[in-house]
Amino acid sequence: MIRNSKVKENKIRPLSFFLFLFLIFGLFFAEEQAKETSIEQIKWTYSISETYSDPIVDEVNIYLITADGSVFAFDKFTGSRKWRTEIRSQNSADILLYQNRLYLPTGRGLYSIDKNTGELIGSYETSSPILTKPIIHEGLLSIITYDGEIIVLDPLKQLSKDSFVREITLAGKTQESSLALGGKLYVILNDGKIYSVDPFSGSKYHLRTISESVWKAYPIPDEDYIYFVAEDKIYKMSKGGDISWSKTLEGWLAPPTFYEGKIYFGSNNGKFYILDNKKGELVQTFDINGAIKKKASISKNGIYIPSNDKNIYSFDIDGKERWSVSIDDWPSSPIISSGFLFVISHSGIIYGISTMGCEILSPEENTTVFSWSQFSGRAFADIGIKNIEVRPLVGNILGDWQSVGSYKEWSKNVMISGLPEGEVYIHCRVTDLDGNTEVSPYFEINYNYLSSPEKLPKIIASYPERVDTGTAFVITFTDEYNRPLTGITVQHGGSIYKVTDPKGVFSFTAPAKEGELILTASHPNYKTETITIIVQKSILTISLIAAGALIVILFIIYIYLRSRKWR
């Protein structure tokens, strides 16, 4: 669902009292407007069990493993389950997908599964839990255990003791603190020691030791450099171990992401940072409502931030807030694929969230539409809109999709033909600039369909034929079966009135001028009725005028007769 989140860009500048009030009211009304135009984005959900790792996707499926070792594959477009496999070993690290195989790090070792069938292919037992995602690099598969054992395997062989190549041991604990770059493995231990390891020869080299302790460093590469976090500090280090820069920030830092010369990451105090990669200068900061403990997803689609306030926040790549979606629990790192945002909550619910959508705003729901009717609405696509389409559905009969343009606010006449009259649903969907088309369930709105306006029932209006000027009178509206009609719109000149009385009674005051009073009564599901009433002077007014005129005439005659007598 699209809604205005409570995220605000953190900018400090002097504000006058009046400007402050202006901003407060502006934000309030912006929030109210956004809520009114919300679009449901969650396309599907599936509940499994508690999970600590992030999902992974390919062209058609999404794969994940629960904390207790249940492995699942789902169709990423529909959420239907493809298969389930039990390996019955606890998991806390992410899955690796390589050449149609899923490599699953667990507390007892590494497992491999066929991604198409879920069949267990092999396993490799370790003496220590694997709390780091397996690494494929230059034809070798490396697993790094919590106790600092680096086990190098041949991925071309079935996973077993026979696939063993070599083992390199580091003196320390580590988890989620390794990466491959330039033919070497770089491993950061919990005590701050950083090693360069050659998986081909087994040689290792201690590059340096940092002063901070490291729980999870989440290192990422950038050509010949490595970025990693330690407590409240982020580092940029060369492959040779030289520190190019480091920056201390607020909060315990989450996994960073590198994209087009910038570093993106959050912290557990709810701040989200964007740094320039050259010098580590702060480019932008957001305040998010909850702690950020997972990696944000950054691409040309935008910035997607998982927050422990149980929301996923969406920004464009320039940092402008777009929307947020609420889920049931803390989210995993989000994954963008094929017009979807995939995330799994800590409690084990998988969400397929659309990054595009549309809604129909006019005509209003439950009104009557015809074979040729104008529709209008709103649409969005994070990467940009290529096309918006609508189609009718009557019973089980689907009409064809019809394009209504590519603008965020759209309006176009739509043809409904070849369908039986009665209840009709209109669907709406979007295709983005990458060619991803929104999947069902679509936005849906209900109407009454008639092939021609002439088939609309009449509005029956009961009213006096004549009324006196300036007097109040009532009009009663019913249908052809004498049932009260409410929701009638009455128009007189430029004034519009709404009939809200449940008995269909409308009160009006006649104008002070004589003549014809013309009112129009309309209702979306009825023919428009024209009401004509004669407005006249009241009989009492006419009688008073006549009496006054008679008195004047008699007075004139009296004066005349008196004057003749005096002569």
Tell me: the pLDDT tens digits for 135-170? Answer: 999 999 999 999 999 999 999 999 999 999 999 999
Q: Check residue 167 and give its pLDDT.
A: 97
The structure tokens 């006054």 sit at 548
Token pair for residue 273? 């940072």
> CB-based contacts of 562: which residues, under 8 Å, 6+ apart?
none
Q: Check residue 34 and give its pLDDT.
A: 35
In angstroms, rounded to a whole number, what is the distance separating the alpha carbons of residues 110 and 129? 9
Instruction: Give the confidence band of 38 by pLDDT, cuts at 50, 70, 90.
Output: low
Decide: helix, strand or coil at residue 454: helix
Per-residue CA distances from 418 to 393, 397, 449 (Å): 11, 10, 12
Residue count (the chain): 567
pLDDT digits over 59-75, tens only? Answer: 999 999 999 999 999 99
In angstroms, rounded to a whole number, what is the distance separating the alpha carbons of residues 288 and 270? 5
Strands of 132-242, DSSP E: 135-137, 140-144, 149-153, 164-169, 178-181, 184-188, 193-197, 204-209, 220-222, 225-230, 233-238
Q: Check residue 364 and give its pLDDT.
A: 87
**From its phi and psi, is residue 139 left (phi > 0), alpha (psi between -120 and 50) or beta?**
left
Decide: helix, strand or coil at residue 492: strand
pLDDT digits over 167-213, tens only? Answer: 999 999 999 999 999 999 999 999 999 999 999 999 999 999 999 99
Q: Check residue 5 and give its pLDDT.
A: 35
Mean pLDDT calculated for residue range 526-548: 78
Strands of 76-130, DSSP E: 81-86, 96-98, 101-105, 109-114, 120-125
Burial 384-410 (b: 16+ CB within 10 A, else e): ebbbbbbbbbbeeeebeebebebeeeb
- Residue of 404, 397, 423 whose CA lies nearest to 360: 404
Please give the domain boundaries of the chain with CATH numbers for all domains: 48-169 (2.40.128.630), 357-452 (2.60.40.10), 456-536 (2.60.40.1930)
pLDDT digits over 446-468, tens only? Answer: 999 998 888 888 999 999 999 99
Please give the helix or strand (H or E) that residue 391 lies within, else none.
strand 385-394
Instruction: Give the confidence band of 539 by pLDDT, cuts at 50, 70, 90.
Output: low
Instruction: Give the confidence band of 564 by pLDDT, cuts at 50, 70, 90.
Output: low
- Residue of 141, 144, 124 whose CA lies nearest to 132: 144
Mean pLDDT calculated for residue range 348-355: 96
In angstroms, rounded to a whole number, what is the distance separating the alpha carbons of residues 193 and 354? 42
Q: Return the percentage of the chain with pLDDT > 90, whole number.
A: 77
Burial 531-555 (b: 16+ CB within 10 A, else e): bebebeeeeeeeeeeeeeeeeeeee
Say whether pLDDT at 260 is over 90: yes
Do residues 264 and 298 make contact, with C-beta atoms less than 8 angstroms apart?
yes
Q: How, if at all, do strands 368-369 and 443-449 pair? A: parallel
Say whether pLDDT at 37 is over 90: no
Burial of 456 (0-12, 13-18, 19+ CB in 10 A): middle
What DSSP state is assigned to residue 72? E
Mean pLDDT calculated for residue range 326-337: 96
Instruction: Give the confidence band of 441 by pLDDT, cuts at 50, 70, 90.
Output: very high
CA terminus-to-terminus distance, the chain: 101
Token pair for residue 457? 């029932």
Of residues 149 and 494, more confidence is placed in 149
Kindly report the average pLDDT of the chain as a whole number: 89
- Residue of 132, 126, 97 whose CA lies nearest to 112: 97
Mean pLDDT calculated for residue range 423-427: 95
Instruction: Give the confidence band of 418 by pLDDT, cuts at 50, 70, 90.
Output: confident
Instruction: Give the confidence band of 550 by pLDDT, cuts at 50, 70, 90.
Output: confident
Say whether pLDDT at 77 is over 80: yes
In angstroms, rounded to a whole number, what is the distance separating the alpha carbons of residues 204 and 225? 18
Q: Is the dihedral of CA 309, 315, 320, 324 positive or negative?
A: negative
- HSE of 210 in the Cβ direction (CA atoms, 13 Å)? 27
Say whether pLDDT at 404 is over 70: yes
Per-residue CA distances from 396 to 183, 516, 517 (Å): 59, 51, 48
Measured in degrees and rounded to the nearest 5, phi and psi for residue 508 equal -150, 150
Say whether pLDDT at 10 is over 50: no
Q: Check residue 559 and give its pLDDT.
A: 78
The structure tokens 């083992």 sit at 167
pLDDT digits over 285-297, tens only? Answer: 989 989 999 999 9
What are the percentages of helix, strand and coil residues in the chain, rounded to 5?
10, 50, 40
